[in-house]
Amino acid sequence: MSDTYLNLVNSGFTKKLAKQLGLPQPAPLRRYRPGQPLLEGPTLVLGRGADAEAVAGLLSTTWDLEVHRHATPELRYAAVVVVLTEVTQPTDLSEPVLAAAGALKSLARGGRVVTLSRTATADDAPAVAAARQGVDGLLRSLAKELRGGSTGNGIVLDAAVGVDAPSVVGALRFFLSTRSAFVDGQLLTVSSAAGTLPTSWERPLEGRVAVVTGAARGIGESIADTLARDGATVVAVDMPSAGEHLTTVANRVRGTALQLDVTAEDAGERILEHALARHGRIDIVVHNAGITRDKLLANMTPEKWDPVLAVNIAAQLRINEALLTSGDFADEPRIVSLASTSGIAGNRGQTNYAASKGGVIGMVRATAPLLEAFGGTANAVAPGFIETDMTARIPAVTRQVARRLNSLQQGGQPVDVAETVAFLASPAAGGVVGRVLRVCGQNMVGQ
């Protein structure tokens, strides 16, 4: 659905009027197109030590970016990368962070700020833990200050993970690119050095077979399109009632369609049977199918509660069990489940939906260790306000307010969710295990 307000405040007389009145002026976001350069302009890498030098070398030699190690006032930087992995006390933050502060004044529209830091643990010395945890508050606050469609995100490395680990490199490229246009204020933890870098960043899923549930429309349709664009063969799954739309999607992505109610007891077995019979393998499962039956808890009935839990979480658990016990889901498999910011922060009138989406977060956290022996992962994507048919039914005033509540002051698009799913499904995300990555434009207070 088009955001008329966003279009008005970025063109002609209405743009000038909005500025005079002090109205929000969200910037149109640049989204990924195949063949697009990773960055259009120089990159500033800040920080001392071997890690900062390694990151600068990676950006300049591997991706052929113009990299600067010291800020030059007259330059407009496309990205600022702040390497903080070697800080040992809060005062160590001052030099690189204040250097970044000066560079932010010349950050290009749609620019990127990415921090690299290490996990704060209970085993750390108090000063080390303070410095590392301080990066969390720093990054989230910085992201709220950026304008012009720019975003700030962070990569958090566990103790044994180097800055050159595949998932660190993959996450850095994702956050720098326009694929992450609506991901803002997020810190993604890389738990291990697992994963492999793709031979082609344009088609990182080449040779993989991906199943997408709820693929006939909306976010699921966009996920199918994006995975296919990235090289995957797609099995599009949806209800028989969506058969015509489902076939259209499957034909467009040159995949196959499977009409199936995911709540069926044998749904997992049927998905496996179809994928193996038609494509010879199954590598990626994206649990996107979901429903809402909103009602205040005081007025909740079994007819509104039970179906939401059945579709949104029970079906995923049942399908995952079939996958994990089959022996056919064992070649660096990926499970990516759609959660929601409602499952993290709650939402009035959505106790059933929030319970199911909170359940998804718990499920991927507990499922991930079961896949690690096969080089696999389970992760979740939690969308915020996304422009879909569902959000189009929200009353107009409420919809406008919801759009402006995040740091980017607009709703996301289905493709924003799809790009994040594609990253987590990629070989380069093998070290991202049991995590939740929000696609919400930083719409939650403090996060």
The SS3 assignment for 295 reads coil
Widest distance between CA atoms in the chain: 63
CB burial readout 197-213, b (16+ within 10 A) else e: bbeeeeebbeebbbbbb
CB burial readout 169-187, b (16+ within 10 A) else e: bbbbbbbbbbbbbbbbbbb
Residue listed under structure tokens 């048919």: 389
Residue listed under structure tokens 């969308």: 383
Nearest alpha-carbon partner for 379 in 426, 436, 323, 313: 436
Cβ atoms of 267 and 251 closer than 8 Å: no
- Torsion angle, alpha carbons of 13, 19, 22, 23, to 10: 60
Nearest alpha-carbon partner for 372 in 419, 335, 423: 335
Residue listed under structure tokens 């549930």: 213
DSSP letter string, 141-204: HHHHH--TT-EEEEEEE-TT--TTSHHHHHHHHHHHSGGGTT--S-EEEE--S-----S-SSST
Cβ atoms of 318 and 331 closer than 8 Å: no
Cβ atoms of 82 and 47 closer than 8 Å: yes
Nearest alpha-carbon partner for 313 in 273, 354, 276: 354
Whether 77 is a known active-site residue: answer no
Contacts of 375 (CB under 8 A, 6+ apart): 194, 331, 332, 333, 430
**Direct distance between the N- and C-terminal alpha carbons of the chain, in angstroms, rounded to an integer:** 26
5, 32, 77, 353: which one is catalytic?
Answer: 353
Burial, 123: exposed, middle or buried (Cβ in 10 Å; 0-12, 13-18, 19+)? exposed
Here the tokens at position 364 are 């991927």
What are the backbone angles phi and psi of residue 242, rounded to the nearest 5°?
A: -100, 20
Give the catalytic positions in this structure.
Answer: 353
